[in-house]
Chain A
Amino acid sequence: MHPAFSVIFLTTLIGAGQGLFLALFSTQVYSEFDLLPGIGDTNFYGIGAAIALALLIGGLISSIFHLGHPERAWRSAARWKTSWLSREVIALPTTMAAVFAYGLIHIMNLDSVAFTHGEVSLSMSLFVGVIAVIATLALFLCTAMIYACIKFLQEWSSPLTVINYFLFGTASGFTLATALASYLGLEQQTLFLGGWAIALTVVVFVTRSASLYRNSRIKHKSTIQSAIGIRHNKISQNSQGAMGGSFNTREYFHGKTAMFLKSIKFIFMILVFPVPLVLLSAAISNGNTDVLISAFIIQFVGLVAERWFFFAQANHPQNIYYQTV
């Protein structure tokens, strides 16, 4: 497939935003149960939610560039019963609204006890947070299923696609949350979030390697024989039905050499996994904010490369009809 930067930035930006929100919420839950010290007057959750919302909005803006008719985008919520894209169109604003409400409660200091049962009391922000977590997880599922549900794009059609989208988003979000906690001088939170960022990065290294291994030995079901229905081992194409190329030759081919693809894979395997892992491990204990911020930026750049590779590697069966591109 031809990687579209609008979709690459949509998926990477909202992934980081969702991950950042999940990091904030887990920190807050740990604090509620006194497993982490309080955040004092740093307003960690409020600032974090603002950044998460900014990332989600950035993704949304980026997605607009993918549409031929953005003014009709409101229509795209119509077919949520059958279309994962339609479900994503519903899940994204829902997540944004929930994260906005969560951030607003923290920034405006509106938190109050929403619910008490005996000794246990649930604050308003946690209640809103749970809704936002559900929306965030639903959004991860919708985004990934857009790709995983197309069964003949065999490189995408795997549960690993969903797992990787979730883990890449959370890994980058937790890395960003670590940098934010360190910037606000929250030592315990930096250690806690940094530990999770490292763990998530390691796990996603395993699952992404698994999907790379799966894709490297994938056997495509469609062949030129099944595509044109002629049983002969040797079939070559003389004409493609277009002289100067067509939508079919532009949309489904990345147009780069195998060497270029390989180097992108190498770049993202370095930038997403080992470099952030080294930077995180080195900086979470001494609270070096600059190093943690660079860990996030490097990982994010790596994720953009990873997403480019994700699209470029998918081999659409229609390409069989365009053998000489």
Chain B
Amino acid sequence: MTQLALIIDLNVCVGCSACVTSCKEWNTSGPAGFMSDDNPYQKDPTGTFFNRVQTYEVGEFPKTETVHFPKSCLHCEEPPCVPVCPTGASYKREQDGIVLVDYDKCIGCKYCSWACPYGAREIDEHQKVMKKCTLCVDRIYDETLPESERKPACVLACPTNARLFGDVHDADSEVSELIREQGGYQLMPEWGTQPSNHYLPRRKNKITIHKDELVRVDNPLNKEQKEHHKPVDGSVLDDNSFI
């Protein structure tokens, strides 16, 4: 079974929000209609987004670290938002595990958004239906696009390659390998939702160097220097052993 998902590498995300804008650009121009915006150029701009980048500060000055945290639908393997939907508008696709909303069936009761612990769903204030990340389902299967572009818009836009897309059920896929080898983790594992999207943690490029490693003990030059500058008084073990 296929489970498409995004892998977000927090180690390289720089918080540029290119994924946010390209997501909005692609999805607001798509066949599902626009994504509402209110006051886009005035005070208190607000609107519908599938993807947002948040920023956290970890630690206390001066030992702080800024973590940019992109947040979108995690396409859970056990999505709590799906069974609560009274109309069946919210569903998980059998073939690729993408969680979608059928905008023609949604009655806008908001119950699914209450049932999502991640707050990944947003109601469109003008179309009055629930919206969320579709993993660019209208793009990834589009055969008119070159194969390299059959990826979600956010993945293509990311300048630092912090977003990767693939099948997390295929053990040999690039994303599965990354999850295994780079410590990919899920958000809020305590609720058993089993998010398909994984996050790769910050990784430290630290190396521990012990003092004795700085000086090469068996350096032959050292030996010569020592002999040259500091002749040993009397006989040493070597003198005797070569007789």
Contacts and interface: CB of A to CB of B under 8 A. Distances in A.
Contacts of A232: 58-59
Given A68-B108, A85-B109, A221 B85 contact: no
Contact of B44 (A221, A245, A316): A245
Between A79, A151, A316, the greatest number of chain B beta carbons within 10 A of the residue's beta carbon is seen for A79
Contacts of A83: 83-86, 111
B202 to A, nearest CB: 7
Contact of A82 (B55, B83, B201): B83
Interface string B99-139: 00000011111110111111101110101110000000000
A248 interface: yes
Contacts of B56: 228, 230, 235-238
Interface in B180-216: 185-191, 199, 201-202
B86 A78 contact: yes
A174 interface: no
Between A73, A243, A244, A319, the greatest number of chain B beta carbons within 10 A of the residue's beta carbon is seen for A244
Contacts of A151: 191
Contact of A85 (B46, B54, B111): B111
Interface string B69-100: 10100000000101111111100000000000
Contacts of B82: 82
Between A69, A238, A248, the greatest number of chain B beta carbons within 10 A of the residue's beta carbon is seen for A69
A84 B89 CA distance: 15
A262 interface: no
A238 B55 contact: yes
Chain B contact residues: helix, strand, loop or mixed: loop
B189 A237 contact: no
A241 interface: yes
A318 B117 contact: yes
Given A238-B66, A246-B49, A76 B119 contact: no
A251 interface: yes
A237 B54 contact: yes
A234 B60 contact: yes
A79 B85 contact: yes
A207 interface: no
Contact of B190 (A86, A222, A247): A222
A174 to B, nearest CB: 30
Nearest to A228: B69
Nearest to B121: A247
Contacts of A146: 111
A305 interface: no
A226 B193 CA distance: 13
Given A66-B109, A234-B59, A321-B71, A241 B87 contact: no
Interface in A212-227: 221-222, 226-227
Contacts of A226: 187-190
B230 interface: no
A252 B119 contact: yes
Interface in A234-276: 234-248, 251-252
Given A68-B129, A228-B69, A243-B45, A317 B117 contact: yes
Nearest to A80: B86
Contacts of A72: 87, 105-107
Contacts of A239: 53-55
Contact of A230 (B44, B58, B109): B58
Nearest to A317: B117
A218 to B, nearest CB: 14
A1 B47 CA distance: 20
A174 B134 CA distance: 49
A69 B123 CA distance: 12
A229 B186 CA distance: 7
Interface of B: 20, 39, 43-49, 52-60, 66-67, 69, 71, 80, 82-89, 105-111, 113-119, 121-123, 125, 127-129, 185-191, 199, 201-202
